[in-house]
A and B are shown apart, each in its own frame.
Chain A
Amino acid sequence: GESVGLHLPTLSVQEGDNSIINCAYSNSASDYFIWYKQESGKGPQFIIDIRSNMDKRQGQRVTVLLNKTVKHLSLQIAATQPGDSAVYFCAENRPGNTGKLIFGQGTTLQVKP
């Protein structure tokens, strides 16, 4: 069935290092993907998105890469900071422009000082 999964439940990095969080999706018809950050006690917060007609998109300290061939999505965070510690979810827009999202399982990012 449809699913969006993440490879690692927890990622621990040193402050200042780059972080890479991965996600695999199963629906080749999906055309829009979003990364969210969720801090404890809060709702998911939008980080960056990418459409299927792109391979890469950059934001402030974040980059999302999309590999449609292998249905893989990644989020790169440059110079990771303690404030980046959170759970990160990838989400796949369900085909059909319904606004419905399918979320991956989440990766907890721990930043060590």
Chain B
Amino acid sequence: SAVISQKPSRDICQRGTSLTIQCQVDSQVTMMFWYRQQPGQSLTLIATANQGSEATYESGFVIDKFPISRPNLTFSTLTVSNMSPEDSSIYLCSVVLQQNTEAFFGQGTRLTVV
């Protein structure tokens, strides 16, 4: 298994500002992902965080809005840029240790934009 720590656990931000969310894993992992969970909704994949290269974004998500860093195999950051109230969601970091095995999730960062 993997233990994933996210910071902050929650934040309230002003519109137009940016927030960087950190994800720390207790072991080296190849596959790391960021998901968004809008209020009362399911999880949607934002991007794959690639170590040493640019993240791979899913349809509907762009680097300018959600820049991602992955400096090593245990750490990643997701920035939510130029926030609007529509960005209010839970943002979740996830890792997969081996292909075709379960994903482990952090506790999430609950973001409220006012």
The CA of A93 and the CA of B102, in the complex, are separated in Å by 9
Is the CB of B14 closer than 8 A to any CB of chain A? no
Q: Pick from A31, A42, A97, A101: contact of B103, CB below 8 A.
A: A101
Contact A49 B108 (CB under 8 A): no
Which label, helix, strand, loop or mixed, suits the secondary structure of the B interface? strand
Is A99 part of the binding interface, using a Cβ–Cβ cutoff of 8 Å?
A: yes
Interface residue count on the B side (C-beta < 8 Å) = 23
Residues of the B chain whose Cβ atoms lie less than 8 Å from the Cβ of A103: 42-44
B100 and A32 within 8 A (CB):
yes
Q: Is B53 an interface residue (CB 8 A)?
A: no
A71 is an interface residue with CB less than 8 A from chain B:
no
**Hey, which bits of chain A sit against chain B, CB under 8 A?**
31-32, 34, 36, 41-46, 49, 51, 89, 91, 93, 97-106
Q: A43-B105, A46-B103, A101-B94 are in contact. List 15 more A-B contacts (CB 8 A).
A: A43-B92, A43-B107, A44-B43, A44-B105, A46-B102, A49-B101, A91-B43, A91-B103, A97-B99, A99-B33, A103-B44, A104-B42, A105-B42, A106-B41, A106-B42
